[in-house]
Chains A and B, each alone.
Chain A
Amino acid sequence: MMYSVVIDPPDDFAAFRSAARRLLAGQIDPADVTWTDRPAAGLFSDPLPEAQRVAAVPRGFVELAEAVACHCDDARWALLYRLLWRLAEGERTLMQQPADALVHRLQRMAASVRRDQHRMTAFVRFRILEDDGGSCSVAWYQPRHRILRRVMPFFVDRFASLRFSILTPGLSAHWDRRTVRFAPGLSRSAAPAGDEAEDWWKRYYRATFNPARVNPKLLDSHMPKRFRRDLPEADTIHDLLSNAARRTDGMIGR
């Protein structure tokens, strides 16, 4: 028997969980299951077994799996099901064995998702528009993984009293001061092109830089180039770097 499971939308952890329960109930070996994001022509699947009560998953699995579910790696569902399978087969302490190759790989995937979330909380930049409903903050951002749903509570905690939207290529989110509405993704051109506060921000960024400590490699390791495209301050970096030596020489050669 061969099984194909479609998880759509691609970060739908609840759909994965319900399919995994039925597969486990039928004791379906991970090697007999393929996981995909969308139905494809010619994709055949035997019907999934009926759901039955299955053993509770150990502490730590759900937390790990919810993060891995957002990872952009197509293998994520298959790896998670393999972990569930081994837990169900009696490896009850597997979650406490970070040296196990599968656990290690999944933990690294979860860490990559969390790092991406942290970067998003740091690097999102809002531009503020005035419209009929008052002011509205809009940001466009390109995360590496599918993290917008996981990151929205952070921004709602912070800006609950403001209307705001965060647009990403795969999904957009809109907060109207009461609820979050998710909608299809949008391209960069859907976001406002500028905000006058950015000139102030760039002046601040230039002034707070110390040319005597110039260190482009450290900059690159903390803020890799791929994150800079949508940061308004990043277009001053080139000038700051090329003038740093001249400014410092002036101080030492007093």
Chain B
Amino acid sequence: MPKALSVADKLEILADAAKYDASCASSGGDTRNSRNSAGIGSSTGNGICHSYTPDGRCVSLLKILLTNACLYDCAYCINRRSSNVRRARFTVREVVDLTLEFYKRNYIEGLFLSSGIIRSPDYTMEAVVRVAQTLRTEHAFRGYIHLKSIPEASPDLIRAAGLYADRLSINIELPTEESLRRFAPEKRTATIHATMRDLSLNIAGAQADTRGPRFAPAGQSTQLIVGADSSSDSTVLATASGLYRRYRLKRIYYSAFSPIPDASTLLPARPAPLLRENRLYQADWLMRFYGFSEAEILAGSADGMLDPDIDPKLAWALRNRDRFPVDVNTAARESLLRVPGLGVRSVDRVLSARSHCRLRLDDIRRLAGSFRRLLPFIVTDDHRPTRLLDRAALRGMVAPSARQLSLFG
């Protein structure tokens, strides 16, 4: 008999097993506190990152699996049936205690619990829900809870999960059905989509009827692995934009495929560049907050890939020079949002400021974050860059140098 694992050993194994899920957000929940309560915890709706690991990623939630044993054999997953990693399994009580002890010391905002599938999807989902239920009902825990939903689990269990969790997620993992079939033989795109649709209906229902039962007030999210299959950025963005539209996802996480110990031979031997992940997030932001359609972002690109050297907004502007320069004193909000170097907050500040006075270049310097790069794209009363825009060297003038770029990965 092998020696029984201590809880600390299990923590190490089951945190290591959970870390390939990029999501760690703790935002979007309802506002609550523990005044006049025997329990602990609060949520302001804004997430808090309590620490950062040396990969630069945020630690907001205790992100662990209930067990890393799994019936499935998904090639990209470190916990797949055929992998030889050490296996461990927490009891419900152990996860509850760890969450509370970490939370009391202000290490975390809450719990992100996922699990390998053991015995059956329902058996596993029931155990995951029981952790959340124990935290909420026995301990009056008001911190953040994110639960991974198992697509094949029964609707009753998903409803129970939504009652206790702030956020639910189902990972779609691969951008095409063909890739999913190849890498995750037990998973079906149709089942994943059906469960996402159920979640979105439940979430919308609970928002519309605030007196009815609570259901995941922070919405649902998903994750796409990038670079494990040969899908292009345009395929990834098309999938993402479809998911946002159909199921009103709060977030899509893009996770550059990274090498795992004891990897499947189906996988590429090289990691996907982290820069690719970074560019996809930038494109995702353009779709959600800047009014860009997914088709526009990559229009004119030869291979359906985002330009690694410059961000997608700048790339779009360089391909659409006829739309510039934009007069900051008169342009509509939508046009200002397309100016490289002007973010959503800068645009709002510009709109507020120009209703009181004509803006000059010095004003823009104070209102915008990256002054130098937006100069070729804007007009003020004392600045007109028409000749600059024609110069072929423009790209070299506004694009960051290669050395700076390597900061991103």
Inside 8 A of B128's CB, which chain A residues have their CB? none
Inside 8 A of B356's CB, which chain A residues have their CB? 93, 96-97
- Identify 10 residue pairs between A and B in the complex whose beta-carbon atoms are under 8 Å apart, listed by A's number: A123-B51, A157-B35, A160-B37, A200-B8, A200-B101, A215-B274, A237-B54, A244-B54, A250-B261, A254-B263
Q: Are A162 and B51 in contact (CB under 8 A)?
A: no
Check if A205 is an interface residue, CB within 8 A of chain B: yes
CA distance A193 to B15 in the complex (A): 27
Check if B63 is an interface residue, CB within 8 A of chain A: yes
Of chain B, the residue at the smallest CB distance from A204 is B15
Check if A189 is an interface residue, CB within 8 A of chain B: no
Of chain B, the residue at the smallest CB distance from A240 is B54
Q: Are A208 and B52 in contact (CB under 8 A)?
A: no
Of chain B, the residue at the smallest CB distance from A139 is B106
State whether A241 and B367 are in contact (beta carbons under 8 Å apart), knowing that A161-B34, A201-B107, A203-B12 are contacts in the complex.
no
Check if A122 is an interface residue, CB within 8 A of chain B: yes
Chain B binder among A26-34, A79-87, A125-133: A125-133
Q: Are A156 and B35 in contact (CB under 8 A)?
A: yes
Of chain A, the residue at the smallest CB distance from B7 is A200
Q: Are A204 and B11 in contact (CB under 8 A)?
A: yes
Chain A binder among B42-50, B191-199, B231-239: B42-50
Chain B binder among A16-24, A45-53, A65-73, A216-224: A216-224
Report, nearest first, the 4 A-B pairs whose CB atoms are least far apart.
A218-B56, A99-B363, A157-B33, A207-B15
Chain A binder among B16-24, B113-121, B154-162, B332-340: B16-24
Q: Which of B104, B407, B409 counts the most A-chain CB atoms under 10 A from its CB?
A: B104
Q: Are B366 and A104 in contact (CB under 8 A)?
A: yes
Check if B219 is an interface residue, CB within 8 A of chain A: no
Q: Are B57 and A158 in contact (CB under 8 A)?
A: no
Inside 8 A of B397's CB, which chain A residues have their CB? none
Interface residues of A in 175-225 (CB under 8 A from B): 195, 197, 199-201, 203-219, 221-223
CB-contact partner of A162 in B40, B270, B355, under 8 A: B40
Contact with B along A85-106 (1 / 0, CB 8 A): 0000000010011110100100
CB distance from B292 to the nearest CB of A (A): 25
Check if A78 is an interface residue, CB within 8 A of chain B: no
State whether A208 and B270 are in contact (beta carbons under 8 Å apart), knowing that A98-B366, A159-B34, A216-B54 are contacts in the complex.
no
